[in-house]
Amino acid sequence: MTLASSMKEFGWLTRHPLVPNDLPNLLNTDSRSLQAGQWFLPLRGQHYDGHDYIPLAMAKGAAGFFYQVSHAKRLDDQHRKFGIEVADTTLALQQLARWWRQKMGCTVIGITGSSGKTTVKEMTGIMLQHFAPVLMTEGNYNNEIGVALTLCRLKSEHKYAVIEMGARHKGNIAFLSAMVEQDIGVLLNVGSAHVAEFGGPLKVLETKMEIAAAPTLVFGSDDERISAAMDKLSNKTVIRFAERAASEVNLTRVSLDGRGSVQLTFKIGDQNFNLESNFYHNRFAINIGACLAIGLALKLDLKECIRGLEAFHGVKGRFKVHRLDERLLIDDSYNANPESMKSGLSTLHEAYGQRQICLVLGDMLELGESSEDFHRIIGAYSASEVKPMRLLTVGTMARWIADEALSCGMKKASIQVFENVDELMEEVSDLWKDCDVIYVKGSNGMKLAKFVDACLTGALGSNDRTSN
């Protein structure tokens, strides 16, 4: 079916002389980066309207553009004949994405969970690239616009698409599933991320379970809540991964060498599979299990899956280890919730507990009424388990981390409190004093990536050559 014929079903109107069938691949929503021959789709937000840039897009050589019917009177006749009139440009983008996904017909893996989505997406993509061309979500483009834009990048050579699917409200994953039509739905975990916005932990579980629209499901069965919810489903193929619970993919051994490298063993069916990696996080092992479960669901050669996974070396902002000669800067700055913060600190202690550690911890946002309790738990854990030489907190809520660490025995002279990342960067001195490992983590809104970048460029006291 051609796009021109489908447009009638969508309710789109146009006088354009030629609407190409591969229009999704030609789409651009940013007039600044638009190139001649592309199609401009203006999006609207609370403080901007992309329609304002239609003349600029046409002047730069756009082949055509979309526009909302409410904007029609603002177009001159010369431009209008190159436009496609739609009720809503965001909806049009989503309609186009779904149509293109169906037309391309590749196998789609949709991944959701409270934490680890981006890392598992990257790991799965690297694994599948060992077999055939793969399209992956770029960065964390996991909402109703980002997912649609990702689907529009599908090309005929892609055999697999790995789509990260995020949510802030009940119904979000169901909406994305209707567009993505994932063949395999992956639910990693259910935690406290955005619990305030969802309205409670049960709503988080219900929302993440919307991934079960897929005919084949991969999920972490160590969580009894997820297993119980999955057990209620019928006519689904399920592949479980776990460390403790009985599953199709069981993690049976984790062996660290003391330098951040790890050896893993998984029991799958009646066979054992071993994997070695120089990347480690204490969620790394179970995330590898999730990837192998996806490989099992796809009926792939699991030994080849492991060879692909051994090429994974981490993701920027997600426990990415930068080596500054003998020092380590660990960038876990992309985001934070109580589970991922505790997991990161636990990994740090497990892998690098013999070294002199400085913690740079920012606010964990969107935790609602439980925010103080969660931050204090992290403060207590930091002081009693990690035992850092220094603790630097960033943000108003992170003060509770500092307060609790002080109450749990950390010396006041070892703790510094900053309102924001700019203050941290202006006032911090002797960055590596008494420590050879700096660990950075906080919610993305705290912008701690700026601090990491400054450290790597030598702007905050280290001009050492860096390597990853």
| CATH H superfamily, domain 3-90 | MurE/MurF, N-terminal domain (3.40.1390.10)
* Whether residue 196 has pLDDT greater than 60: no
**What pLDDT, on the 0 to 100 scale, is given for residue 428?**
82
Mean local confidence (pLDDT), 234-258: 93
Topology of domain 320-456, per CATH? Protein-Tyrosine Phosphatase; Chain A (3.90.190)
Q: What is the pLDDT of residue 194?
A: 52
Q: Which has the minimum average pLDDT: 215-219, 337-341, 382-386, 389-393?
A: 337-341
Q: What is the pLDDT of residue 468?
A: 45
Q: Looking at residue 324, what is its pLDDT?
A: 86
Arithmetic mean of pLDDT over the chain: 92
pLDDT band, residue 168 (cuts 50/70/90): confident
pLDDT digits (tens, 9 = 90+) for 42-101: 999 888 999 999 999 999 999 999 999 999 999 988 889 999 999 999 999 999 999 999
* Stronger pLDDT, 321 or 408, i.e. the higher one: 408
> pLDDT, tens digit, for every residue of 267-314?
999 999 999 987 778 788 999 999 999 999 999 999 999 999 998 888
pLDDT at residue 463, rounded to an integer: 39
Specify the residue for token string 């999920």.
Answer: 219
Q: Which of 204, 213, 223, 225 is nearest to 179 (CA)?
A: 213
pLDDT of residue 259: 62
Alpha-helical segments (H) within 212-362: 224-231, 284-297, 302-309, 338-352
Question: What class does CATH assign to 105-309?
Answer: alpha beta
Per-residue pLDDT at 421 exceeds 70? yes
Confidence of residue 467 (pLDDT cuts 50, 70, 90): very low
Identify the CA nearest to 450 among candidates 424, 415, 413, 412.
424
**Structure confidence at residue 169 (pLDDT):** 87
Looking up tokens 């146009």 gives 14
What does the DSSP 8-state code read for residue 417? E
pLDDT at 193: 55
State the residue for tokens 């002279």. 413
Please report the pLDDT score of residue 326 as a whole number.
83
Q: Does residue 417 contact residue 396 with C-beta atoms inside 8 Å?
A: no
Q: Per-residue pLDDT tens for 4-52?
A: 889 999 999 998 989 999 999 999 999 999 999 999 999 998 889 999 9
Contacts 24+ apart (CB under 8 A), 277-281: 277/309, 277/310, 277/312, 278/313, 279/312, 279/313, 279/314, 279/321, 280/256, 280/347, 280/351, 281/318, 281/319, 281/343, 281/344, 281/347
- Please say if the pLDDT value at position 464 is more than 70: no
**pTM as predicted:** 0.79
Per-residue pLDDT tens digits for 153-162 = 999 999 999 9
Residue 227 above 90 pLDDT? yes
Q: pLDDT at residue 462 above 60?
A: no
Question: For the residues 447-459, what does the mean pLDDT come to?
Answer: 90
Domain ranges for the chain: 3-90, 105-309, 320-456
Tokens describing residue 141: 């483009």
Average pLDDT over residues 432-461: 89
The sheet with strand 64-68 has its strands ordered as 13-14, 83-86, 64-68, 39-40, 27-28
Q: What is the pLDDT of residues 92-151, one digit of tens each?
A: 999 999 999 999 999 999 999 988 899 999 999 999 999 999 999 997 799 999 999 999
Higher-confidence position of 434 and 416: 416
Output the CA angle 135-136-138, nearest 5 degrees: 130
